Structure 1
Amino acid sequence: MEDKEDKIRLVQMKLMEVLDFISDYLPLINCHSNDFLLNNHWETFLSEPIRSELDSLSAAELVSLLSQTHSIEKVVLGEDPTQYPNPSSWNFQCEYLDKASSSGDKKWKIYTKDMQHFCPNWVHEDLKSFLQDAQRCSLHNSDILSNVDDLDINGDLTLKDSMLISTFMNQKKTHEVEVMGELCYRLSQKYDTNVVVDLGSGKGYLSTHLAFQHKLSVIGVDAQTINTKGASKRADILSRQWEGLTRNKVLRSQKTVLGKLGKKRKKELRKAGGWGDTFTGNQRDIKRSSSPRSDIMDDVLNGFAQFFEEQERSRNEPSSHDNVKSNSPPSQNKDCCDSMKTKTKNCEGEEQNATDERLNEKSEGSENISLNIGGNFLERKNTAETSALKANHFLITTYIDTDSDISEIVMQAMAGESLSSFTKHSCEHGDTVQQTKDSYLAENPVLGEGPTLMLTGLHTCGALGSNILRLFVNSPSVKVLCNVACCYHLMSEKFVASPFEDKEDLNEEPGFPLSEFLRKNKIGIGRQARNLASQSVNRRAQDAEVLAKQFPRMLLQKILYDQLGYVRSDWKGLRKLDQKSTDMFDYVMRAFIKLGLPTDKVNRELVECYCEKYRDHRRKFAAFFQLKTALAPCIEAVIVLDRLCFLLEQECVYDAKLLQLFDPVTSPRCYGIVSVKT
């Protein structure tokens, strides 16, 4: 491993490079799209040469603005010591923040009326140089990113013969769970961790995968009871269907047609047997086997034989057909948790509700022969197999902050009802409570000896994304960290006031900056900047045309101001309202009614007049937002590198690496941090 001090210096110099670049454009980065017409963003935040160049671009050129591939030569930081100052002597300079701090307050207030008209300092005279510098400041074009090979965990994470069970997950979540699950499994093997704590586990996609697929002991932690209950119900259903899902997965990979076995094949399956192992315990052996007959293992054949025997008997029982319906999986809980209402909610539920509604459908298509045929087969299945699957999967509802005791949470989750029932049984035989607890811990060495933990989180939201790093550093029992964060706008800053700070938890530890390097320089970027960091350059680069989906909201903002003389930042309930409207007039009327405003002065002629007046501004906004989006990777680089720098600054941290884990088009928040303590 490279010297830790050299690595810290490399990260610090990259932070200096990115911050020096964006400091001139923070006013542009922090302007609110809703005010594009109201505050004339086109004239205020773009220089005349940039406006002219954007105006001259054709529709096709505007579309390709983010997908242009410039020949960028990577600058290896540190090779030229005169190019960058020593990090210890660097001072962050930003006229925009200096202006905002003139009031003498502890925090810069950049969302005041005056600051919304503060012009950027355009140091770039053309689009090409601006885009080149923006790309150079992204994580993708930095020398900070590590490869999976650097982790020394034996190869690629996306295996073609992976046994991932994708049931109940959309394409995005399947991709993320496959990669993250394989990474967590290999890290746990390499560093001998015996418990994985999944913070912000949400609906339990990652935690059930680690417990069922990789046989790891997993604690799923979430702040919302509804999430924990949903995860528990999903685990129940998945455990009952697991044998059929995994069996069909193997058969499908071997191109075996399910549900269409001939009489001869059925006879062979009935004769096969004599093995007591369950299928799920041998999945990795299936992948490794190269025997010609290994397309179906003996235990799978045995499972098939048992199934057909049960099915044969069930045909002769008159009540079997009546039991099919009662043994079908229970309906999915349709309640969902709003990710904006909790700081510890894991955002892996994104775009997933529609998939969850299909939870009761056949899990792997019509060919799944083990789930919905023969009620008595399901009814008579040995519940011990289901219990064995869930034996390593624990769920607990608790709020996670920097004062949380991870070891105590693990003890509470793993003991839970098991300790209660053990205590009841032992106390009936005269044992004291302490004797009972000691006996229980002795019989459960993972708890008694103190488990070695790995903290993980797939798209930990807002404050949890920063708190998980603090917990990793402050928890002696935690050895490994594997985290991918998201929703940067939902955390707070130490030096910049949020426009919604009066409604936020002021006792919460600021999520940015974390590193001592940025704290001593009092770095601030702003909430709108952090919101911009969630925009996906890669996805927009895939679009066939540049869209201006937000333009109706901007036009509404202008109408609201002209009719009322004011607009308020706390107006809510307008998101996606335009999608429910038939036209702009209908949208405006719905918005006024939603906000409880008088509509007597609003008519169709008025709205059509606004539409005609600002028709040409739609294209201008599309170009404006396309340019602004080019800065999104720079903001994300600052946030992620700050967290990497924070970990490297800690004495207890042996190493910390930043990796691109996911495909950036499929999963825009694709950067993960892996860290190991001494």
Structure 2
Amino acid sequence: MLSSLIGDISIETVRNKLDAIQRFLSASLRISNAHTVDFYTEDVWNEFVAVAPECVLAVITGCNQQTAPVPVQEESSLCFYGFVDDSLKLVDVASFLQAAKAHSLPHLQVCTSLEDLLQGLQGGGRKSTDKALGTDDFMNDKKSHEVKVMSELVASLAKYCNIQQVIDLGSGKGYLCSFLSMEYSLKVYGIDSSSTNTHGANERNRKLKRYSKAYQRTREPVIQETVSEIQEDHSSMNEAGLTPSKKVQELLVLMDKAALDGPASSLDSAEHTVGGENITGAQSETEDLEADGSPFFGILSSEVVELPTPRKNPAELSSEEKERRKQENLKRKSKTRSDSSLYSPLTSYVTAKTELQEIISDMEDSVMVGLHTCGDLASSTLRIFTAKPELKAVCSVGCCYHLLSEEFDCPRQESPNGIWGFPMSQYMKQQKWNCGRNARMSACLALERVAVGQGLPTQSLFYRAVLHVILKEHYGAIKSEKRVGNVYSKSASFVDYIRKALKKLGLDESKLPDSLIQDYYDKYKPRMNEMEAFNMLKVVLAPCIEGLILLDRLCYLKEQENTSWSTLVKLFDPLKSPRCYAVVGVKRLLNSIH
């Protein structure tokens, strides 16, 4: 089992980590729940922070590069985690930063590394693959990165569980589905609630299959060119008085034989001899050739390595050998045949109570996956996995935490079928823990990106907060029921922004002269650094809130009797894809050989 290969974190450990995060957030979560719109009308800075904004920015900027593990600060009667005990105002920024880092997923030591997980699934050693389909040719950099990494993990889960079917919830444009079907020959059902997405995925998949065929056809001339280069290099070495290794000479001889016997695409991988050793199949031969250390082998693709296979005259083969080769050819053709049914986009709205058999007619044992499933769909993915015996493994990467429904939020949001997205685990339900929408919104902030200079839109947030001051003082609006939207990007100045916003809100903007609007800007501009510093505090807290949500999901899986193994794994580069953590689970495989 996986637990014996890479270890397993106990449910007690997960609960202890949840307790630790909750203790820290009990003091700090109110910062994340403060709304930017109210920043000046409610004097948020002085309400929550007792140090100068310049101090906060200086400390955070100086500590962004810290990567070593940091200790958790012990609580005291006067100050804990940097907050004063009675007022909960922040007074010690350095202690706050240390505590935030200590309570984020990278420092809680609850995640399994992707390398260890893949090795465990693949039998203790990752196998390098030479895939033909280049994702960079038809996906942007972010999506290409996500699809390549996640597809390897999903395919490994499928192979580990000895199944061929994958169900992708919230499949969107179908990139992951198409890649899994074309590169790993998996039968994939992509389910999305948008018929537009489903139709587009169907058309995109058809084009990708055509692209894949064209891509593969272009590889044969490249192979022949590579062989020619090896032969030319061999001639140059002879002219220079250099002697190639014995295996290189034997390889060239076999290449000549293969060229006489027929095209490379018709060659079999029967047993043959290289360097005095019996080698069966291209993989063993590759390992043998690479052991020689020759510079030639670095440019050999798997197709070239298959070229040396000698062929026998069909008349010399026994009937058993002929039948064996016939069956191998049939299997090979079946494997490489482009089958349009390998990926089937389906349109359906999925909840935790969805019956998959009503959507998928030929339902069989499957891996359930979700790549950046929004809000409650991530929670529903895990609930469906645990409820359906035909689902043997799950790999879920959630996003849009602000769209999660919370059972213990006040006022409580409505949730379909009375099932809420957070919390999931019985452990967290018993504590009636809630984050709040603003805090869940803050959990979507990307600390790693901010740390490398991809800052927050401070000026647009500043404009919105000052607009709220104007609305309150001149229009009697405590809260605006309408959204301003993306007015900032269309505005030439602060005055222009206010006028456009007032028009969008349906308010009379003629009552405010330009000079009065400009006075508001001049009054609050010196306090803009307060907003910048406060938002940086929110960014620092983001990984802790995300960690709480993800550990709750992991705890839920560990509470299920039919789940044998579960973990969190950091799948993606957070600079490319900030929502980079996957919840992975495997059912108890009764007939598993693992």
Please classify the TM superposition score into its range, dividing by the shorter chain length: 0.7 to 0.9
Determine if contact 1:33/1:554 at 8 Å carries over to the other structure.
yes
- Counterparts in 2 of 1:622 and 1:253: CA distance versus 1, 3 Å: farther
Q: Which residue of 2 aligns with 1:265?
A: none
Q: Report the secondary structure of 1:495's partner residue.
A: coil
Q: Which residue of 1 aligns with 2:88?
A: 122
Determine if contact 1:481/1:675 at 8 Å carries over to the other structure.
yes
Partners of 1:404 and 1:543 lie apart in 2 by 43
Q: Report the secondary structure of 1:512's partner residue.
A: coil
Partners of 1:401 and 1:566 lie apart in 2 by 38
Determine if contact 2:72/2:98 at 8 Å carries over to the other structure.
no
- Counterparts in 2 of 1:160 and 1:40: CA distance versus 1, 3 Å: farther
Q: CA deviation at 1:247?
A: 5.0
Equivalent runs, 1:380-459 vs 2, <5 Å: 388-411=338-361, 447=362, 451-459=364-372
| 1:509 and 2:419 aligned | yes
Q: Report the secondary structure of 1:672's partner residue.
A: strand
Q: CA deviation at 1:567?
A: 3.7
Equivalent runs, 1:56-135 vs 2, <5 Å: 56=55, 63-69=61-67, 72-73=70-71, 121-122=87-88, 125-135=91-101
Q: CA deviation at 1:162?
A: 5.2
Determine if contact 1:70/1:132 at 8 Å carries over to the other structure.
no
Q: Which residue of 1 aligns with 2:525?
A: 615
Q: Which residue of 1 aligns with 2:185?
A: 215
Q: CA deviation at 1:652?
A: 1.1
- Counterparts in 2 of 1:165 and 1:569: CA distance versus 1, 3 Å: farther
Equivalent runs, 1:468-507 vs 2, <5 Å: 468-497=381-410, 501=413, 505=415, 507=417
Q: Which residue of 1 aligns with 2:465?
A: 554
Q: Report the secondary structure of 2:565's partner residue.
A: strand
Determine if contact 2:32/2:541 at 8 Å carries over to the other structure.
yes
Partners of 1:535 and 1:28 lie apart in 2 by 14
Q: Which residue of 1 aligns with 2:205?
A: 235
Determine if contact 1:211/1:389 at 8 Å carries over to the other structure.
no
User: Residue by residue, what CA displacement relative to the aligned partner does 1:333-353 show, whole Å, maximum 9, x if unpaired?
Assistant: xxxxxxxxxxxxxxxxxxxxx
User: Residue by residue, what CA displacement relative to the aligned partner does 1:170-190 show, whole Å, maximum 9, x if unpaired?
Assistant: 111111101100000111111
Q: CA deviation at 1:41?
A: 0.9
Determine if contact 1:165/1:246 at 8 Å carries over to the other structure.
no
Determine if contact 2:71/2:98 at 8 Å carries over to the other structure.
no
Equivalent runs, 1:582-593 vs 2, <5 Å: 582-593=492-503
For 1:492, give the aligned amino acid: S
Determine if contact 1:15/1:641 at 8 Å carries over to the other structure.
yes
User: Residue by residue, what CA displacement relative to the aligned partner does 1:630-659 show, whole Å, maximum 9, x if unpaired?
Assistant: 111111111000000011001111111111
Q: Report the secondary structure of 1:614's partner residue.
A: helix
| 1:146 and 2:109 aligned | no
Q: CA deviation at 1:497?
A: 3.1
Partners of 1:589 and 1:463 lie apart in 2 by 38
Q: Report the secondary structure of 1:410's partner residue.
A: coil
Choose 1 or 2 for highest CA Rg: 2
For 2:156, give the aligned amino acid: R
| 1:225 and 2:195 aligned | yes
Q: Which residue of 2 aligns with 1:111?
A: none
- Counterparts in 2 of 1:158 and 1:254: CA distance versus 1, 3 Å: farther
User: Residue by residue, what CA displacement relative to the aligned partner does 1:476-501 show, whole Å, maximum 9, x if unpaired?
Assistant: 111111111111110100111358x4
For 2:198, give the aligned amino acid: T
Match of 1:43 among 16, 32, 46: 46
Match of 2:151 among 168, 181, 187: 181
Q: Gapped runs of 5+ residues in structure 2?
A: 76-84, 227-257, 268-280, 290-296, 308-333, 589-594
| 1:542 and 2:452 aligned | yes
Partners of 2:225 and 2:444 lie apart in 1 by 41
Determine if contact 2:198/2:346 at 8 Å carries over to the other structure.
yes
Q: CA deviation at 1:120?
A: 8.7
Q: CA deviation at 1:388?
A: 2.3
For 1:218, give the aligned amino acid: V
Equivalent runs, 1:460-471 vs 2, <5 Å: 460-471=373-384
- Counterparts in 2 of 1:541 and 1:595: CA distance versus 1, 3 Å: same
Q: CA deviation at 1:146?
A: 1.2
Q: CA deviation at 1:216?
A: 0.3
| 1:13 and 2:11 aligned | no
For 2:121, give the aligned amino acid: I
For 1:625, give the aligned amino acid: N
Partners of 1:157 and 1:253 lie apart in 2 by 26
- Counterparts in 2 of 1:677 and 1:121: CA distance versus 1, 3 Å: farther
Q: Report the secondary structure of 2:106's partner residue.
A: helix
Partners of 2:40 and 2:89 lie apart in 1 by 25
Q: CA deviation at 1:409?
A: 2.2
Partners of 1:161 and 1:298 lie apart in 2 by 12
Partners of 2:174 and 2:458 lie apart in 1 by 35
- Counterparts in 2 of 1:249 and 1:138: CA distance versus 1, 3 Å: farther
Q: Which residue of 2 aligns with 1:55?
A: 54
Q: CA deviation at 1:156?
A: 8.5
Determine if contact 1:492/1:510 at 8 Å carries over to the other structure.
yes
Partners of 2:563 and 2:302 lie apart in 1 by 46
For 2:391, give the aligned amino acid: V
Q: Gapped runs of 5+ residues in structure 1?
A: 76-82, 85-118, 257-267, 278-283, 302-383, 412-446
- Counterparts in 2 of 1:537 and 1:273: CA distance versus 1, 3 Å: same
Determine if contact 1:157/1:182 at 8 Å carries over to the other structure.
no
User: Residue by residue, what CA displacement relative to the aligned partner does 1:569-596 show, whole Å, maximum 9, x if unpaired?
Assistant: 5322x23220111111111111111111
Q: Which residue of 2 aligns with 1:661?
A: 571
Q: Which residue of 2 aligns with 1:647?
A: 557
Determine if contact 1:74/1:141 at 8 Å carries over to the other structure.
no
User: Residue by residue, what CA displacement relative to the aligned partner does 1:96-129 show, whole Å, maximum 9, x if unpaired?
Assistant: xxxxxxxxxxxxxxxxxxxxxxx99437641111
Equivalent runs, 1:358-373 vs 2, <5 Å: none
Determine if contact 2:48/2:89 at 8 Å carries over to the other structure.
no
Determine if contact 2:130/2:302 at 8 Å carries over to the other structure.
no
Equivalent runs, 1:303-342 vs 2, <5 Å: none
Q: Percentage identity across aligned positions? A: 33
Q: Report the secondary structure of 1:616's partner residue.
A: helix
Q: Report the secondary structure of 1:611's partner residue.
A: helix
Partners of 2:127 and 2:48 lie apart in 1 by 43
User: Residue by residue, what CA displacement relative to the aligned partner does 1:110-167 show, whole Å, maximum 9, x if unpaired?
Assistant: xxxxxxxxx9943764111111111100011012111231461247989695545223
Q: Report the secondary structure of 1:645's partner residue.
A: helix
Q: CA deviation at 1:407?
A: 3.2
Equivalent runs, 1:600-639 vs 2, <5 Å: 600-639=510-549
Q: Report the secondary structure of 1:669's partner residue.
A: coil
For 2:477, give the aligned amino acid: Y
Determine if contact 2:401/2:440 at 8 Å carries over to the other structure.
yes
Q: Between Structure 1 and Structure 2, how many residues are aligned?
A: 494
Q: Which residue of 1 aligns with 2:317?
A: none
Partners of 2:177 and 2:45 lie apart in 1 by 47
Determine if contact 1:62/1:546 at 8 Å carries over to the other structure.
no
Determine if contact 2:449/2:575 at 8 Å carries over to the other structure.
yes
For 1:466, give the aligned amino acid: S
Q: Which residue of 1 aligns with 2:252?
A: none
Q: Which residue of 2 aligns with 1:32?
A: 35
Match of 1:523 among 413, 426, 433: 433
Q: Report the secondary structure of 1:9's partner residue.
A: helix
For 2:407, give the aligned amino acid: K
Q: Report the secondary structure of 1:232's partner residue.
A: helix
Q: Report the secondary structure of 1:220's partner residue.
A: strand
